[in-house]
Amino acid sequence: MPDTLGPPVPSPDAEARRRPLPPGAFRVQRPIRFSHTDPAGIVYFPVYFDMFNGVVEDWFTHGLGINYADLILERRIGLPIVHAECDFLIPSRMGETLTLGVRVERIGRSSISIGITGEIEGSVRLAGRLTVVATALDDFASIPIPSDLRSTLEAYRAACGA
């Protein structure tokens, strides 16, 4: 029996995200732990979104040189997520080590779309995206992306060949 509406048409970004990471992409490694996995023995999907948030933190602090905790606690700039999505292509299991890497997909006035791809031994396991909006934490109003962050993001994107 066919889908009633036909499958959704993936965006060009979604296609790019399912390709292996470019050489210049910031990467972190995450062991798949007992606690990440469910009774079927595979990672419970919200865990990946939690990992994504940690990957963005590490990318800011260690990849872009903009300390994430300082951004929030001292500069009082938040990056709440307004959209999150992920395609889960191949399940992962306890004892494996996932490499997660970051692409900049879009830089708007206030918003940033961040593609995150998870690989094991060069094979793409999952491909997601977070869209965040620069926000003043004191009144929760969106603000333009701070200029130091914007220029760093643009340089990162260029270095990844996007």
Under the criterion CB under 8 A, does residue 73 sit at the interface with a second copy?
yes
Among 18, 27, 66, 86, binds a second copy (CB under 8 A): 86
Q: Which of residues 1-60 bind a second copy (CB under 8 A)?
A: 1-5, 7-9, 11-13, 31, 33-35, 37-42, 44-47, 49-50, 53-54, 57-58
* Nearest Cα to Cα of residue 116 among 21, 10, 12: 21
Q: Is 99 within 8 Å of 28 (Cβ atoms)?
A: yes
We find the least distance from the C-beta atom of residue 34 to a second copy, in angstroms, to be 6
Query: Quick one: residue 140, left, alpha or beta (phi over 0 = left, psi -120 to 50 = alpha)?
Result: left
Closest separation in Å from C-beta 159 to a second copy = 16
Site for a second copy in 108-137 (CB under 8 A): 108-109, 111, 137
Residue by residue, DSSP assigns 92-153 as -BTT-EEEEEEEEEEE-SSEEEEEEEEEETTEEEEEEEEEEE-EETTTTEE-PPPHHHHHHH
Q: Which parts of this chain interact with a second copy (CB under 8 A)? A: 1-5, 7-9, 11-13, 31, 33-35, 37-42, 44-47, 49-50, 53-54, 57-58, 67-70, 72-73, 78, 80-89, 91, 93-95, 106-109, 111, 137, 140, 150
